[in-house]
């Protein structure tokens, strides 16, 4: 049987007679504007390889396919375009920071499987990692924590670091050369302890807040009642907009407890003045202030699904679903919004393979059954949070090949997925990761036995499982 070992599997593959020897001199490339922006046609036969793309980006995708076909392959004609326009990965550089060199390796891996978004989680309770020229205190005070205690992973001593504008631009440019858009995230109003450490006056109580040293959901969040909150947020966002040219900016919105807002005279005053019925609606209002600011600069917002709870958030936002029992994001999409799927139980790559085996990630359908129109799901994203991950080798084992599976779901239209075939193709794809300098999890780790699934997951959550490295 003829087959090709390409990830993501191209959407239309027609085998021609014979086998081809492929080399760079035998490739002709053209751009044809009648094809889609991400669509390409690639023919490989004994006379050489011919690649036509709807744009330079599409040509880049065709080249990724060609690279994976290898030097010897069956003669083929491939017609290909993606199932979803948004195919991303998310990196948390707050809980642990990674070098620009290592980030570039992740970008290379993402590009090799036709991903087009790097969502960069840059601010949180445990550190503020964007250098802000307008508000340098945010970075200089907020980027260092006194110690780290993330359960399994205890590290003594101060931990800190941030990305300079030059470093962030370097990542943006590197991504851009690979047709990947960097979407920076400044999380708010929750997950802001590091910012509040620099600006305690922006909390409801106005008291000192530490840069957090462990994982959690913290009650001190940005006060929605104080005008100064928005002055600082807009200053930092202005810096972010100068560095990141992306149409979308991620403004977080997850896990924001309302404890302080309920007791805060400023927040209560704001609710009264704006006629907001409860604190959830106050978060909706908060989000809309930031959305309006971004709109005034020609940008749009992405928000985590909790931001939708009040039902008042502007329809121009894109909702990122991660954990959404009440399906606010599906309702939002069905009412004219757009969503991205990064489901916790299938796509969070920081959890062990015992909890999220590769087959579970690969087999997942990112379009919820209750979605009325598939085009309201912009796509998929594989996040990796780094509370438990403090070195690049371990990050790579957790991320690959699960992120690769998410990339294929984002690109390839499939009713019934063949996980065994995907895993077979990974055998060849490993060479590409190897060239990039990434070592994925060994195959024996991908799909643990039922016994291991139970015991290792229990160990993970009880903190008994020691990291392998």
User: Beta-carbon neighbour count of residue 153 at 10 Å?
Assistant: 19
The only residue of 131, 159, 322, 332 in contact with ligand ACM, by rule CB under 6 A:
322
Residues 265-304 binding Zn ion (CB under 5 A) are 266-267
Q: Which residue's CB is nearer to ligand ACM, number 209 or number 340?
A: 340
Closest separation in Å from C-beta 25 to ligand ACM: 48
Site string for Zn ion, 167-206 (x = CB under 5 A): -------------------------------------x--
In the numeric block, which tokens belong to residue 108? Answer: 């290379």
| Cα–Cα distance measured from residue 64 to residue 245, given in angstroms and rounded to the nearest whole number | 25
Q: Which residue's CB is nearer to ligand ACM, number 294 or number 340?
A: 340
Q: How far is CA 119 from CA 82, 128, 307, in A?
A: 19, 16, 18
Question: By CB under 5 A, which span of 47-55, 264-272, 321-329, 409-417 interacts with Zn ion?
Answer: 264-272
| Cα–Cα distance measured from residue 455 to residue 449, given in angstroms and rounded to the nearest whole number | 10
Asked if 50 touches Zn ion (CB under 5 A), the answer is: no
CA angle at 215 for the pair 214 and 218, rounded to the nearest 5°: 100
| Cα–Cα distance measured from residue 396 to residue 404, given in angstroms and rounded to the nearest whole number | 11
Size of the site for ligand ACM (CB under 6 A): 4
| H/E run at residue 249 | strand 248-250
DSSP code for 428: H
The only residue of 182, 264, 382, 441 in contact with Zn ion, by rule CB under 5 A:
264
Sequence-separated (6 or more) residues with CB below 8 Å from residue 146: 158, 210, 211, 213
Site string for ligand ACM, 327-366 (x = CB under 6 A): ----------------------------------------
Site string for ligand ACM, 201-240 (x = CB under 6 A): ----------------------------------------
Strands (E), 22-115: 27-31, 40-45, 48-53, 72-80, 86-92
Asked if 304 touches ligand ACM (CB under 6 A), the answer is: yes
Closest separation in Å from C-beta 322 to ligand ACM: 4
Tell me if 376 sits within 8 A of 337, measured CB to CB.
Answer: yes
* SS3 of residue 212 by DSSP: coil
Backbone conformation region of residue 76, classed left if phi is above 0, alpha if psi is from -120 to 50, else beta: beta
Question: By CB under 5 A, which span of 77-85, 259-267, 398-406, 409-417 interacts with Zn ion?
Answer: 259-267
Closest separation in Å from C-beta 341 to Zn ion: 33
Q: Which residue's CB is nearer to ligand ACM, number 129 or number 178?
A: 129
Q: Which residue's CB is nearer to Zn ion, number 183 or number 198?
A: 198
The only residue of 32, 235, 255, 350 in contact with ligand ACM, by rule CB under 6 A:
255
| Cα–Cα distance measured from residue 406 to residue 394, given in angstroms and rounded to the nearest whole number | 19
**In the bound complex, which residue of the shown chain has the CB atom lying closest to ligand ACM?**
254
In the numeric block, which tokens belong to residue 442? Answer: 């060994």
The only residue of 219, 235, 254, 278 in contact with ligand ACM, by rule CB under 6 A:
254
Binding site residues, Zn ion, CB under 5 A: 204, 223, 225, 264, 266-267
Binding site residues, ligand ACM, CB under 6 A: 254-255, 304, 322
């Amino acid at each position: 049987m003829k087959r090709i070992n390409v990830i993501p599997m191209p959407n239309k593959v027609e085998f021609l007679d014979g086998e081809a020897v492929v080399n760079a001199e035998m490739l002709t490339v053209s751009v044809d504007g009648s094809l889609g922006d991400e669509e390409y046609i690639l023919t490989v036969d004994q006379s050489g390889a011919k690649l036509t793309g709807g744009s330079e980006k599409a040509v880049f995708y065709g080249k990724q396919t060609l690279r994976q076909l290898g030097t010897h392959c069956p003669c083929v004609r491939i017609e290909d375009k993606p199932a979803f326009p948004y195919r991303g990965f998310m990196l948390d550089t707050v809980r642990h920071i990674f070098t620009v060199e290592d980030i570039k390796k992740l970008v290379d891996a993402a590009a090799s499987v036709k991903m087009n978004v790097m969502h960069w989680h840059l601010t949180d309770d445990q550190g503020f990692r964007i250098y802000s020229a307008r508000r340098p205190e945010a970075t200089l005070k907020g980027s260092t924590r006194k110690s780290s205690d993330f359960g399994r992973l205890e590290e003594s001593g101060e931990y800190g670091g941030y990305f300079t504008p030059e470093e962030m631009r370097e990542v943006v440019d590197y991504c851009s050369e690979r047709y990947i858009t960097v979407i920076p995230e400044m999380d708010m109003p929750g997950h802001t302890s590091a910012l509040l450490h620099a600006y305690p006056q922006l909390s409801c109580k106005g008291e000192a807040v530490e840069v957090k040293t462990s994982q959690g959901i913290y009650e001190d969040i940005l006060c929605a009642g104080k005008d100064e909150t928005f002055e600082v947020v807009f200053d930092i966002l202005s810096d972010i907009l100068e560095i990141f040219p992306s149409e979308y900016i991620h403004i977080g919105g997850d896990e924001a407890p309302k404890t302080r807002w309920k007791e805060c005279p400023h927040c209560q005053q704001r609710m009264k003045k704006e006629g907001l019925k409860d604190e959830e609606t106050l978060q909706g209002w908060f989000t809309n202030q930031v959305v309006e600011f971004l709109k005034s600069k020609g940008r749009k917002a992405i928000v985590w699904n909790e931001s939708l709870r009040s039902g008042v958030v502007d329809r121009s936002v894109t909702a990122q679903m991660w954990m959404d029992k009440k399906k606010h994001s599906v309702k939002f999409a069905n009412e004219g919004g757009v969503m991205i799927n990064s489901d916790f139980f299938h796509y969070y790559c920081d959890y062990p393979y015992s909890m999220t085996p590769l087959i579970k990630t690969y087999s997942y359908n990112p379009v919820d059954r209750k979605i009325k129109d598939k085009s309201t799901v912009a796509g998929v994203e594989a996040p990796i949070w780094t509370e438990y991950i403090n070195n690049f080798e371990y990050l790579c084992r957790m991320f690959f090949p699960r992120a690769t599976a998410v990339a294929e779901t984002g690109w390839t239209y499939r009713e019934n997925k063949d996980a065994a075939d995907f895993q077979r193709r990974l055998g060849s794809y490993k060479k590409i990761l190897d060239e990039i300098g990434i070592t994925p999890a060994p195959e024996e780790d991908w799909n643990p036995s039922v016994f291991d699934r139970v015991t290792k997951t229990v160990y993970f959550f009880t903190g008994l499982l020691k990291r392998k490295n």
